[in-house]
Copies of this chain bind each other. A is one copy, B any other.
Amino acid sequence: MPEPIHQVTFQPDNITVDVYRHGENLLRVAMAAGVHINASCGGNGTCGKCKIIIDKGKVESEHSEKLSDEQWQQGYRLACRTQVIDDLTITIPPESRIDNSALKRKTGGQRHILKARDLNTLVQGLSINPAVFKCYLELPPPTADDNMSDLGRLMREIKKSYKYDRISTDFHLLQRLSQVLRQADWKVTVTLVYNPKGFKLIDLEPGDTSKDNYSIIIDVGTTTVKGQLLNLEECRIAHSNTTDTDSENLCAEDARYNSQVGFGEDVISRIVHSQKKGGLEALQQAVVADINEIIAHLLESAGIRNDQISHLVLAGNTTMTQLLLGIDPKYIREDPYVPTANFFPPVRALEIGINLPDYIHIYTFPLVSSYVGGDIVAGVLGSGIFQRDELTLFIDVGTNGEIVLGNCDWLVCTSCSAGPAFEGGGVKNGMRASQGAIEQVRINPETFEPMVITIGNQKPLGICGSGLIDAAAEFLLTGIIEPNGKFDRTLKTSRVREGDNGWEFVLVSAEQAAEGIGDIVLTEGDIDNLIRTKGAIYAGCRILLESVGLSFNDLDRVIIAGGFGQFINLERAIFIGLLPELSTDKFMFVGNGALLGARLVSFSREMMKDAQRVSDMMTNIELANNMKFMDEYVAALFLPHTDTNAFPGVMKMLEGNN
């Protein structure tokens, strides 16, 4: 655990919490501490409900028209517009608070919010030596006595300086090799890429460009495509001074929905579409266009050129990978569910339409089966399960829920169709975890008024995965919904109402939401989708454990990956039955597992080797046509679960509440 930087004490309840980041938003601190402050604009400062008084300590805070001059003088501030830069004592005035001590006791505080972890805390012995790397060389010009070929001269120097053996050459490079060497007066930078058979020379640039070495990594998700731009060179430097490589080497990131969504929400409907005339091409072009947009955006926001990129790493599930590469996914869907290959040899990115220089080949992760793809191998790699003795359950919550169980000796895996609820799919006001997405929700158990915080403290645009988990847990806790997911039609609040899509809860009214969004609601259909999602994942975990004769209690660790946002509230996830009720210190959240693994592979050629080893280790358990799974799934379609014995803590909390 990192050391806390500041402490904030909330009055009148006298709750003190640690703050780990200088400048942390005060509303978030309150939320994390389980201290309820009214807030309905997502933290944007427009509702003016989160007034607090600074009793002691310094803050940075914005003036707001919601505060009179007199209030400002008295120490009033808007919590959502206030940054913690000192130890503080805060009073929550009556108009901003309810007595939420009961609530606080039930759901705990900050220490169970799991934040995505750094590479270095996850993987043992990560040595930073990128698979793609650059070397600056000064060659002796040819003479009559030393007139070997240009390539021979270059290779001689590489071998002399770096002791690499077995270096092959990209043919395309040869077409400009002689010219570049002479234009650069024999002072050049070579780009080499490691592969299991040796090294390959892929690029040659005039002068010393060895500091320009960037990698693009892309998670090609069924619902969301996410990209990051990494500085491979900085990382190496950063690594020697600090353990926090993440902040140093991540230059830019971007995400957008996979445009294939227009052809179907899940992999099955995409495969169906791919079988239509021109379908495969349309699907491929759609996702390639997304990737090109992401690349353009990454380059623009980092201010670097296309030709400064050296490496492209893609992680996706099996169907996404085959569609991207133009490989017919037909048989993924047909019993006995066979993918075309477990590893796709590198292909020139340009050849499939990706706007990168022609020397860049796509690295995709090896995969395990039709429904446990390279993204999961990346996640297992990234989370270091395969390196540890601890028995670990790894859960990647995406449109498919993939589950891996094992340790450094063995790994079993499976997947279940979870649905896209956590990425905003199948949820009326659902959205990805991006700016303006509601990521945290608390509900006043007496007034049913919600406290919402959005990513970036923007006006709310919709709700993302972690917000959905929070909301469902709060609904259950405050009796807004029953364990079967139906709204209590008798509640005395106008927020529960019958809308166009059946019963719903108004989370944010149109005037507090971003313009043009209208009321942000959660419908019974949304809750139903959430229940099916969490039910499938929980059932999958149980079946996988059973398949090797184990149960949840045998686990040393549970690692959660997925696009929920920056963090996930553990108690809430357990509360709705998404995760098993285990000691909270067994859980770890790694954020996007595919990107994590892709980053490792960019930084470390040993990890590239390990990726193959991990995929070879993983034994696939097929859930399709598995009757036991169907039984488990149906049993899990309840909040938290029909088997209440599995959730004694949750049941106790619910009983205490009623």
Interface residues of A (CB under 8 A from B): 142-144, 146-153, 166, 168-171, 174-175, 177-179, 182, 197-198, 325-328, 330-331, 335-347, 367, 369-370, 622, 625
Q: How far is the CB of A518 from chain B (nearest CB, A)?
A: 46
Name the B residues within 8 Å of A327 (CB-CB): 174-175, 177-178
Q: Among A143, A331, A370, find the residue whose CB has the most chain B CB atoms closer than 10 A.
A: A331
Name the B residues within 8 Å of A328 (CB-CB): 175, 178-179
Query: What are 17 of the A-B contact pairs (CB < 8 Å)?
Result: A142-B338, A146-B336, A147-B337, A149-B340, A150-B340, A151-B343, A152-B341, A166-B197, A171-B345, A171-B346, A174-B325, A174-B340, A174-B345, A178-B330, A178-B340, A179-B328, A197-B197
By the criterion CB–CB under 8 Å, are B342 and A147 in contact? no
By the criterion CB–CB under 8 Å, are B335 and A144 in contact? yes
Closest to A342 in B: B149
Q: How far is the CB of A341 from chain B (nearest CB, A)?
A: 4
Known contacts A144-B335, A144-B622, A147-B369, A340 near B171 by CB under 8 Å:
no
By the criterion CB–CB under 8 Å, are B144 and A345 in contact? no
CA–CA, A328 and B183, complex, Å: 14
Copies of this chain per assembly: 2
CA–CA, A370 and B147, complex, Å: 9
By the criterion CB–CB under 8 Å, are A174 and B344 in contact? yes
From B150, B325, B341, B342, contact of A341 by CB (8 A): B150
Name the B residues within 8 Å of A369 (CB-CB): 147, 149
Name the B residues within 8 Å of A143 (CB-CB): 336
By the criterion CB–CB under 8 Å, are B339 and A169 in contact? no
By the criterion CB–CB under 8 Å, are B149 and A341 in contact? yes
Closest to A179 in B: B328
CA–CA, A343 and B155, complex, Å: 12
Apart from A147-B622, A151-B341, A179-B328, what 10 extra A-B contacts exist at CB < 8 Å?
Answer: A144-B622, A149-B342, A151-B343, A152-B341, A166-B197, A169-B345, A174-B327, A174-B344, A197-B197, A197-B198
CA–CA, A153 and B327, complex, Å: 17
By the criterion CB–CB under 8 Å, are B174 and A338 in contact? no
Known contacts A198-B197, A331-B150, A341 near B144 by CB under 8 Å:
no
Name the B residues within 8 Å of A325 (CB-CB): 171, 174-175
Known contacts A197-B197, A335-B144, A175 near B326 by CB under 8 Å:
yes
Closest to A369 in B: B147
Q: How far is the CB of A465 from chain B (nearest CB, A)?
A: 31
Closest to A370 in B: B147
CA–CA, A150 and B169, complex, Å: 30
Q: How far is the CB of A285 from chain B (nearest CB, A)?
A: 15
